[in-house]
Amino acid sequence: MKLRSKEWFARKGKDGFIYRAWMKNQGIPADMFEGKPVIGICNTWSELTPCNAHLRDLAEAVKKGVLEAGGFPLEFPVMSLGETLMKPTAMLFRNLASMDVEESIRANPMDGVVLLVGCDKTTPSLVMGACSVDLPSIVVSGGAMLTGKFRGKDIGTSDVWRFADDSKKGLISEEEMNMAEAGMCRSIGHCAVMGTASTMAGMVESLGITLPGNAAIPAADSRRKVLARMSGRRIVEMIKENLKLSDVLKREAFENAIKVNAAIGGSTNFAIHLMAIAGRIGVDLNLEDFDHYSKDIPLVANLQPSGQYFMEDLYYAGGIPAVMNSIKGSLNADILTVSGKTVAENIQDQESLNDDVISTKDNPFNPISGIVVLKGNLCENGAVLKPSAATPELMKHTGKAVVFENIEDYKNRIDSDDLDVDANSVLVLKNVGPKGYPGMPEVGNMGIPKKLLDMGVTDMVRISDGRMSGTGFGTVVLHVSPESAVGGTLALVQNGDLIELDVEARKLNLLLDDAELESRRQNLKVEGNPYTRGYCKLYVDHVEQAHLGADLDFLKGGSGSEVLRDSH
Ligand code: FES
């Protein structure tokens, strides 16, 4: 076995002495340095990332597995991105965390890596970083929370939006809000609906870079620790087989992931993160692929926010293997995964155990699924919409724009009695794209104006260059590219302009003639980067547009695992 860790631990003389001696202060016996594969356990544990706060526990299970298989486990921390607390938005730091992961792996004596992830951005950031090094790697997700409970009902993160609307309308008291808050997150783990964290867990499983069953086992279920332990055993085998990420992450694996995402009603954030991962591993993927590969796949999983159930229910019904089984005729089933088996072998024994939760492809929960990619003069490079979370009557709609210039303008005016808006209006929010905010926050599913809520309006067409939480819903057009901050047509929209959305035709247009558009464009002033130092300056200077995955332009591709200079 050719081990890169031997470059450190098998060295003679002063250097080898230093490499080993300082490690021995942790009580590590000498034989651990004698040719055992070193497995890095890349941990996003943090008390500031509550969804990942149990990952040190899970790391212990991975370590047991590594030791059982004859490896040498070493756990290390990387930047952790907690969705609920980080400001201005965790997405601003996804690329920064990926740099931390990439450089930590390359700089240290590792032969393979186990990536411990959970909350939304922790999964893509670790996978992106690991792809740019391309060692044998396996992902272990932290698992979802147990289903929340409130007054005898099941609740999850998507209900936060409903509680907020009910509170605005005076339908729910502060005391009831406190009770809901106490029952929402009643165990370890990440959001229990098919939000972005669950979408990411499904993504890594359907890409073939986890053991089968990874996505749906609840965080609190002891079988999650079994999976972690088995992943620890498996990574040691993968080093013997020299099975690297690039051996698994072929274009066919990305096509599978897009199809599975459609089948489970995954988050729109999926498009941005999968594009960024493809960019790191050198797979040519574009935004149109998301529409193309998902259009024949119905929604087979009945999960919130597109459906009714929760991640716990998905697990009891057979998890992602059962979902994949229900659409297996559409999948690239003979490709290799990190289990050492093909997709077909991984899923062959797992039929749906509950047709209410995981239906068949022929009799789906909803024939509408996936991520629709829109084009038009309002989004020359594309925009996305999740039809399963939208209102069918609004899929073809023309309305007058009600424009908010930025998030502060929106917050100041959305509930004002003076706001000139009706149920047919199209809400437009500018300057929340990758560069404009910066970091592209999840504000695209703007709240319905209070005066319309009071009239019983529950959905409107909303358009922005921002993102939407995977737990959100509504007829929401997101990721408009080019964004308004770089002078995209979105920046030219004015109050009262007519906007036409036609989902079936995949069109989104600002109904103005070319001369008027050109005249407005001539008068548009595009601001430069307002940041003069630090990560925000680097980010705004280099972040790419949403339709490319919003990675930093200089991070595309990889640099391999070779250490170019050796000062020791
Ligand atoms: Fe972490 Fe939802 S806040 S997954």
Phi, psi angles (nearest 5°) of residue 400: -85, 135
- Between CA 8 and CA 500 the distance in angstroms is 62
Q: How far is the CA of 47 from the centre of ligand 1 (A)?
A: 13
Residue 73 preceded by cis peptide, ω within 30: no
Q: Which atom of ligand 1 is nearest to the CA of 83?
A: 3
3-state helix, strand, coil in the chain (%, to 5): 40, 15, 45
According to DSSP, the β-strands at 72-77 and 38-43 are: parallel
- Between CA 144 and CA 316 the distance in angstroms is 13
Q: Are 373 and 506 in contact (CB under 8 A)?
A: yes
- Tell me which H or E stretch contains 38: strand 38-43
CA 375 to the chain's CA centroid? 23
DSSP string computed for 460-485: -EEEESS---TT--SSEEEEEES-GG
- Scanning the structure block, which residue is given the tokens 């591709």? 557
b/e for 387-420, b at 16 or more Cβ within 10 A? bbbbeeebbebebbbbbbebbeebeeebeeeebe
Q: How far is the CA of 468 from the centre of ligand 1 (A)?
A: 13
**Of 502, 514, 512, 496, residue with least CA distance to 399:** 496
Q: Which atom of ligand 1 is nearest to the CA of 198?
A: 4
> By alpha-carbon position, which residue is closest to atom 2 of ligand 1?
191
- Between CA 343 and CA 335 the distance in angstroms is 6
The best mutation among 46, 87, 120, 188 to test binding of ligand 1, ranked by most ligand atoms within 8 Å of the C-beta, falls on: 120
Residues flanking ligand 1, CB < 6 Å:
51, 83-84, 119-120, 157, 190-191, 195, 197
Q: Are 278 and 338 in contact (CB under 8 A)?
A: no
The best mutation among 94, 158, 160, 191 to test binding of ligand 1, ranked by most ligand atoms within 8 Å of the C-beta, falls on: 191
Q: Which atom of ligand 1 is nearest to the CA of 52?
A: 1
Q: How far is the CA of 218 from the centre of ligand 1 (A)?
A: 14
Q: Which atom of ligand 1 is nearest to the CA of 50?
A: 1
- Scanning the structure block, which residue is given the tokens 């490079």? 381
- Between CA 323 and CA 125 the distance in angstroms is 25
The best mutation among 47, 159, 190, 200 to test binding of ligand 1, ranked by most ligand atoms within 8 Å of the C-beta, falls on: 190
Q: Are 431 and 447 in contact (CB under 8 A)?
A: no
- Between CA 405 and CA 398 the distance in angstroms is 21
Beta strands in 350-447 (DSSP E): 372-376, 379-385, 396-404, 426-429
Q: How far is the CA of 121 from the centre of ligand 1 (A)?
A: 9
Q: Which atom of ligand 1 is nearest to the CA of 157?
A: 2
3-state secondary structure of 338: coil
- Between CA 525 and CA 485 the distance in angstroms is 9
According to DSSP, the β-strands at 137-141 and 112-117 are: parallel
Report in angstroms the alpha-carbon separations of 525 from 285, 436, 522.
33, 13, 8
The best mutation among 80, 83, 117 to test binding of ligand 1, ranked by most ligand atoms within 8 Å of the C-beta, falls on: 83
Q: How far is the CA of 159 from the centre of ligand 1 (A)?
A: 14
Q: How far is the CA of 82 from the centre of ligand 1 (A)?
A: 7
DSSP string computed for 484-502: GGGT-GGGG--TT-EEEEE
Q: How far is the CA of 294 from the centre of ligand 1 (A)?
A: 25
Q: Which atom of ligand 1 is nearest to the CA of 471?
A: 2
Q: How far is the CA of 191 from the centre of ligand 1 (A)?
A: 5
Who's near 151: CB < 8 A, 6+ residues apart?
176, 179
Q: How far is the CA of 52 from the centre of ligand 1 (A)?
A: 9
Q: How far is the CA of 55 from the centre of ligand 1 (A)?
A: 14
Q: How far is the CA of 378 from the centre of ligand 1 (A)?
A: 31
Cα angle, residue 512 at apex, residues 510 and 513 outer, rounded to 5°: 135
pLDDT at 167: 86
Q: How far is the CA of 456 from the centre of ligand 1 (A)?
A: 30
Rg (CA), the chain: 24
Q: How far is the CA of 492 from the centre of ligand 1 (A)?
A: 34
pLDDT tens, N- to C-terminus, the chain (568 residues) = 789 999 999 999 999 999 999 999 999 999 999 999 999 999 999 999 999 999 999 999 999 999 999 999 999 999 999 999 999 999 999 999 999 999 999 999 999 999 999 999 999 999 999 999 999 999 999 999 999 999 999 999 888 888 888 888 889 999 999 999 999 999 999 999 999 999 999 999 999 999 999 999 999 999 999 999 999 999 999 999 999 999 999 999 999 999 999 999 999 999 999 999 999 999 999 999 999 999 899 999 999 988 999 999 999 999 999 999 999 999 999 999 999 999 999 999 899 999 999 999 999 999 999 899 999 999 999 999 999 889 999 999 999 999 999 999 999 999 999 999 999 999 999 999 999 999 999 999 999 999 998 899 999 999 999 999 888 889 999 999 999 999 999 999 999 999 999 999 999 999 999 999 999 999 999 989 999 999 999 999 999 999 999 999 999 999 999 998 887 7
Cα angle, residue 195 at apex, residues 58 and 401 outer, rounded to 5°: 155
Q: How far is the CA of 325 from the centre of ligand 1 (A)?
A: 27
Q: Which atom of ligand 1 is nearest to the CA of 196?
A: 4
pLDDT at 18: 97
DSSP string computed for 171-199: -S-HHHHHHHHHHHS-SSSB-SSSSHHHH
- Tell me which H or E stretch contains 73: strand 72-77
> By alpha-carbon position, which residue is closest to atom 1 of ligand 1?
119
**Burial of 84 from C-beta contacts in 10 A (0-12 / 13-18 / 19+):** middle
Q: How far is the CA of 141 from the centre of ligand 1 (A)?
A: 13
Q: Which atom of ligand 1 is nearest to the CA of 118?
A: 4
The best mutation among 48, 51, 94 to test binding of ligand 1, ranked by most ligand atoms within 8 Å of the C-beta, falls on: 51
Q: Which atom of ligand 1 is nearest to the CA of 197?
A: 4
Which residue(s) pair with 112 in the sheet?
39
> By alpha-carbon position, which residue is closest to atom 3 of ligand 1?
83
CA 385 to the chain's CA centroid? 16
**Of 200, 217, 207, 187, residue with least CA distance to 122:** 200
- Between CA 120 and CA 305 the distance in angstroms is 16
**Of 112, 135, 129, 341, residue with least CA distance to 232:** 112
Q: Which atom of ligand 1 is nearest to the CA of 51?
A: 1
Q: How far is the CA of 73 from the centre of ligand 1 (A)?
A: 28
Q: Which atom of ligand 1 is nearest to the CA of 469?
A: 2
Q: Which atom of ligand 1 is nearest to the CA of 190?
A: 4
According to DSSP, the β-strands at 476-481 and 461-464 are: parallel
pLDDT at 374: 98
Q: What is the DSSP letter of 25?
A: G
